[in-house]
Amino acid sequence: GDSVTQMEGPVTLSEEAFLTINCTYTATGYPSLFWYVQYPGEGLQLLLKATKADDKGSNKGFEATYRKETTSFHLEKGSVQVSDSAVYFCASSIQGAQKLVFGQGTRLTINP
Amino acid sequence: DVKVTQSSRYLVKRTGEKVFLECVQDMDHENMFWYRQDPGLGLRLIYFSYDVKMKEKGDIPEGYSVSREKKERFSLILESASTNQTSMYLCASRSRQGGSNQPQHFGDGTRLSIL
């Protein structure tokens, strides 16, 4: 069945470091792909999305490119800030269904 | 902006109680969802609803039921609460327009403790 696999955390970086969080998916057909962010004590917020192959989603300095050939949607940011500390979830739509399937989440901590 | 409101941020109940978690959305979305979030397990879908009075089981429906009498409101019911239902519960809604491109919008969550 459809699934999403994220790199295991936690990930700890220093401020201004380069960030990559890996995400790969298995799906029937061509899903839409999403990254969500969860700040402490809050629900999930949509960070970015891509709906077809080679699309690049971007928001708040974060980017992710939909790679059909590698079935990946890695999240990147060139220079992280302390305020980026949060849990990040990769998600994939399921073709023909109204649901999303989520990865297990990656906890990111940025130290000043 | 879409607003999804969960009635309680924190809730403490006793084993065997019947527990109601309420969720309201203000964007006339057709689809609504209940998840539970546990460390190391990510989000797991309990139930979802694609229209008023319509519901479908998710991945872990055992011990739960739902109610959707009005479009804007989706309730999660723990029929007889047990300690293994202690968790963070997240509600989400989504428009059916535009198909799978549409994201889900989440509430802030209810942290439920069963003693």
pLDDT in tens, B75-102: 999 999 999 999 999 999 998 887 778 8
Interface contact flag, B107 A34, Cβ < 8 Å: no
Interface contact flag, A103 B42, Cβ < 8 Å: yes
Strand partners, B66: B76
Beta-strand relationship, A11-14 and A106-111 = parallel
Look at residue B114 in the predicted model and tell me its pLDDT: 97
Instruction: Sort out which chain B residues have CB atoms less than 8 A from A29's CB and list them.
Output: none
Rounded CA separation A32/B57 (Å): 22
Q: Kindly report the average pLDDT of chain A as a whole number.
A: 93
What's the pLDDT band for A1 if we cut at 50, 70, 90? Answer: confident
Q: Is B3 on the interface with A (CB under 8 A)?
A: no
List Cβ neighbours of A65 (8 Å cut-off, separation of 6 or more): A50, A54, A55, A56, A57, A73, A74
Partner A, chain B 14-33, Cβ-Cβ below 8 Å: 31, 33
Q: Kindly report the average pLDDT of chain B as a whole number.
A: 93
Task: Give the nearest partner residue to A99 out of B48, B96, B105, using CB atoms.
Answer: B48
Structure confidence by residue, pLDDT tens digits, A54-109: 999 999 999 999 999 999 999 999 999 999 999 999 999 877 677 889 999 999 99
- C-alpha distance from A34 to closest chain B C-alpha (Å): 8
Rounded CA separation A63/A56 (Å): 7
Structure confidence by residue, pLDDT tens digits, A88-101: 999 998 776 778 89
Interface contact flag, B40 A104, Cβ < 8 Å: yes
Q: Which two tokens stand for residue A64?
A: 């992710």
Cβ(A30)–Cβ(A68) under 8 Å?
yes
